[in-house]
Amino acid sequence: MALRYYQVEAKQAVMDYWAETPGNPLVVSATGTGKAMMQASLTCDLLAGWSDLRIMNTTHVVELVESNFKELVGMSPFAPCGIWAASLGRSDRSAQVLFSQIQSVHDKAVQIGHVDILQIDEAHLVPFKQATMYRRLIDALLEVNPDMKVNGFTATDFRLDGGRLTEGEGRLFDAVVYDYGLRRGIDDGYLTPITSKPVGTKYDMTGVGRSMGEYKASDYREAVDTESLNRRVVEEVLDTEGHRKKALIFCRGVEHAGHIRDEFRRQGRSVELVHGGTPAGERRRTIEDLKSGKLWGVVNDNILSTGTNIVGADLLVDLYRTMSASRYVQRAGRLTRVIYPPGFDPEAVEAEARRAAIASWIKPNGRYMDFAGNISEHGPVDMVQPRKPGSGSGEAPIKICPECEEICHASARVCHCCGNEFVFEEKPKFAERPTDAPILSSEATEWRTVTDRRFDFHQGKAGKLDSVKVTYICAMTGIREWLGPGHHGKFKSNTDRFWAIHGGQRPFPKTVMEWLERQLELNTTAEIAVTPNPGFKSNPWKVTDHKPGTERAHVNDNVPTAANDNGIGHARWDELEVPF
């Protein structure tokens, strides 16, 4: 199969980098975009140019060792390659191109001998610390050949504990030479879109401490692993997304995973459990049963976040809150594998046709159900910015307001957005209400029903003009936008359009106060169209269009208006008698 344009560009970027510098390059390519093919093609080109090169490919998951090996053999059937992985019963230590599992070779540098190029798959798992399997192997191979080059491939160019792979003391990689992200893959029609909707059940993390850059397992299990909460989670999954075909369920710990599996079974779904201690053969059979349709879902304790290719997975239930942005992104990436209609050739058409083919077939999107709060923790999956590790406990100097999800400094006493007073305690407390943050920074426009609407005066800052803040209540979510009756240009035009389509009389209001005084002229808003608003966690949705209702709005909840209502519209504010 011919390489896609980005695979060719990624391969060439590595070669161009080495032509200019002897450093260690890193290729970032989203999950599902064919990193195995990139590595295989690069290996073939290197062997074609320098036939005596010794190349070693290593990673941590045996499934990746096997798939990377098969990719090269499929591309070059007579390539001089072998495998060293105890899980596969192979130790072809003399192979010119050696595919290896790090657990089997980390202390075997002497037996391996001279290596010219070391390729590392899932490079985000290479720690900065020296006393680790990857570092011991690399240091020992460099003693054999000080000129050995290292190049890495990963979907996330940041470490599990925060910070970029190319930054900081102890880094292995010098530069990201190519980056093909999730957003580009979806726009190109090579990845399935991910969608996220609010969930009604949210974990209460009160009392969950942190240790070693992650939430404490014992505290976490005590907070979330209860019979009633497990039942509510499973019921909500099946009520809202029970029509999905293949589900991956991520839990924290084997015990929690077992309880969730049992609850799904009690509610009639065929679900199995795999974990770190599951024998390799059993794990392989379970995955194959999910792929074939014998199983509806597989529960796991995060071992399926990398190295497992389940193309048909269209539902991910995340019950494992993590402080690691890398784990979150890798997990969500399980949903992006594409299924095109039979006979469809994605390479013969443009991106628009590929997107249309995905949308019309059996997996138009993947649903990410975020019960754990990872979207609020890290942001949209295609816009994640890793925290830089600090010199102290590793906790980020921020906190999230439990009322409005505004990001505030850790020392703040009051939320600057909603005025909520923080309760200071050593252990973090997170919002119990459902989150409505988008899983992608740019999802398709969706229409939401408006159950209430409110206009408020919004004072301009730093000399800017005042505006009208509009708050729409959609189910349990408040979505805001701003209108500018006193502004000019497009902002004013959009404001006048809102007034006109909602039945307001001419002339248009020219000030915020005039708008508020005349708001009873307007009909209700029946629906709003929204798209994600990346970078604004307190207001993660942007309003792009409106559908007006057929009835006039009220300034309060009294219908008909109560006799003692004092809302704007009954008298001008400057005509009221003020007793001072």
Contacts 24+ apart (CB under 8 A), 218-227: 219/427, 220/252, 220/253, 220/321, 221/252, 221/253, 221/255, 221/256, 224/252, 224/256, 224/319, 225/253, 225/255, 225/256, 225/259, 227/259
Work out the percent of the chain whose per-residue pLDDT is above 90.
Answer: 57
Q: Exposure pattern of 169-204 as b/e (b: 16+ CB <10 Å)?
A: eebbbbebbbebbbbbbbbbbbbbbbbbbbbebbbe
Work out the percent of the chain whose per-residue pLDDT is above 70.
Answer: 83
Which residue from 56, 51, 44 is spatially nearest to 121, judged by alpha carbons?
56
Question: Is the separation of the CB atoms in 59 and 122 below 8 Å?
Answer: yes
Q: What is the mean pLDDT of residues 561-571?
A: 44
- pLDDT at 131 (0 to 100): 67
* φ, ψ of residue 131 in degrees (nearest 5): -85, 60
Instruction: Measure the CA–CA gap between 376 and 430, rounded to whole angstroms.
Output: 10
- Write out pLDDT tens, residues 256-265: 999 999 999 9
- Residues of the chain by 3-state class (helix, strand, coil), percent to 5: 30, 20, 50
Per mean pLDDT, which range of 168-172, 239-243, 467-471 is the poorest?
A: 168-172
Which residue from 288, 262, 378, 292 is spatially nearest to 331, judged by alpha carbons?
378
- Write out pLDDT tens, residues 329-360: 889 999 999 999 999 999 999 999 999 999 99
User: For residue 382, is pLDDT > 90?
Assistant: no
State how beta strands 477-483 and 467-474 pair. Answer: antiparallel
Instruction: Measure the CA–CA gap between 568 and 521, rounded to whole angstroms.
Output: 12
Q: What is the mean pLDDT of residues 149-173?
A: 83
Mean of per-residue pLDDT scores for the chain: 84
Q: Which sign does the torsion angle of CA 533, 539, 541, 543 carry?
A: negative
Q: What is the mean pLDDT of residues 397-418?
A: 45
- pLDDT at 241 (0 to 100): 94
| Total count of residues recorded for the chain | 580
- What is the crossing angle of helices 35-49 and 62-75, to 10°? 50
User: For residue 393, is pLDDT > 60?
Assistant: no
User: For residue 413, is pLDDT > 90?
Assistant: no
- Write out pLDDT tens, residues 268-305: 999 999 998 999 889 999 999 999 999 999 999 888 88
Q: Which sign does the torsion angle of CA 490, 491, 492, 493 carry?
A: positive
- pLDDT at 395 (0 to 100): 36
- Write out pLDDT tens, residues 194-237: 988 888 888 888 888 887 778 888 889 889 999 999 999 999 99
Distances 179 to 6, 14, 25, 187 between C-alpha atoms, Å: 9, 12, 11, 15
- Cβ neighbours of residue 135 closer than 8 Å, sequence gap 6 or more: 126, 127, 129
Residue in the structure block whose two tokens are 């190295």: 307
Give the pLDDT band (50/70/90) at residue 563: very low
- Cβ neighbours of residue 273 closer than 8 Å, sequence gap 6 or more: 254, 257, 258, 261, 298, 299, 300
> In the sheet that 194-195 helps form, which strands lie side by side, from edge to edge?
194-195, 366-370, 315-318, 247-250, 297-300, 271-274
Give the pLDDT band (50/70/90) at residue 414: low
- Write out pLDDT tens, residues 94-145: 999 999 999 999 999 999 999 999 999 988 888 777 668 999 999 999 999 9
Instruction: Measure the CA–CA gap between 175 and 290, rounded to whole angstroms.
Output: 38
- pLDDT at 25 (0 to 100): 96
Instruction: Measure the CA–CA gap between 375 and 346, rounded to whole angstroms.
Output: 31
71 is written with which tokens?
């990719």
User: For residue 401, is pLDDT > 70?
Assistant: no
Distances 345 to 3, 4, 65, 335, 354 between C-alpha atoms, Å: 13, 13, 28, 21, 9
Instruction: Measure the CA–CA gap between 276 and 254, rounded to whole angstroms.
Output: 9
Question: Is the separation of the CB atoms in 61 and 307 below 8 Å?
Answer: yes
Which residue from 113, 35, 119, 44 is spatially nearest to 79, judged by alpha carbons?
44
User: For residue 491, is pLDDT > 50?
Assistant: yes
- Write out pLDDT tens, residues 3-39: 999 999 999 999 999 998 889 999 999 999 999 999 9
- pLDDT at 65 (0 to 100): 94
- pLDDT at 464 (0 to 100): 85
Would you call 254 helix, strand, or coil by DSSP?
helix
Contacts 24+ apart (CB under 8 A), 4-7: 4/34, 4/190, 4/347, 6/33, 6/178, 6/180, 6/184, 6/188, 7/33, 7/34, 7/37, 7/38, 7/41
User: For residue 568, is pLDDT > 50?
Assistant: no
* φ, ψ of residue 6 in degrees (nearest 5): -75, -30
- pLDDT at 423 (0 to 100): 62
Tally DSSP H helices, then E strands, for the chain.
16, 24
Which residue has better confidence, 80 or 389?
A: 80
Instruction: Measure the CA–CA gap between 546 and 472, rounded to whole angstroms.
Output: 11
Give the pLDDT band (50/70/90) at residue 396: very low
- pLDDT at 389 (0 to 100): 53
Which residue has better confidence, 579 or 120?
A: 120
266 is written with which tokens?
């009690």
Q: What is the mean pLDDT of residues 61-79?
A: 92
Give the pLDDT band (50/70/90) at residue 441: low
Q: What is the mean pLDDT of residues 543-552?
A: 90
Instruction: Measure the CA–CA gap between 406 and 518, rounded to whole angstroms.
Output: 32
Which residue has better confidence, 119 or 440?
A: 119
Beta strands in 93-199 (DSSP E): 97-101, 117-121, 149-154, 175-180, 194-195
